[in-house]
Structure 1
Amino acid sequence: MPLAPEYEAMFSALAEEPGPKISDLSPAEGREMYRVMRAVNPELSIGAVEDRQIETEVGSIPIRIYRPSTEGPLPIVMNFHGGGWVIGDLDTADSVCRGLSEAASCIVISVDYRLAPEHVYPAAVDDAYAATCWAAANADELGGSGKLAVTGESAGGNLATVVCQKARDENGPRIDFQLLAYPVVDHDLSRPSYDENGEGYLLEKSTMIWFWDHYCPPERRNEPAACPLLAESLADLPPAVVLTAEFDPLRDEGKAYADALAAAGVPAKLICYDGLVHDFLATAAVFQCSRAAFEEAAAELRQGLA
Structure 2
Amino acid sequence: VKVKSVILAEMQMFLQRRMEEDEHSAQYINNLSQELNNLREVKAQLQLNLMVQLVLKQGQVEVQSSDFTPDYSNSILLHKGVVEDLNSTIQLLGERKVASMVECKDFRKKIVQVEWECQKMLMQMDDLRNKIRDILKLRITKQAQMYLREANYEGQMNADIMGMERSIEGQEKFHSKVIEKKKNIIKELEKQISQMKREMKVIDRQLKEQHISVSERQNIQEMITTVKSDEDARTRFKDLLQHNKLMELSRSQSEDIEILRNELERQRMKTFPILAEAEQYAYN
TM over 0.5: no
Instruction: Give the TM-score of the pair, scaled to structure 1.
Output: 0.12
Between structure 1 and structure 2, the one with the greater Rg is 2
Instruction: Give the TM-score of the pair, scaled to structure 2.
Output: 0.13
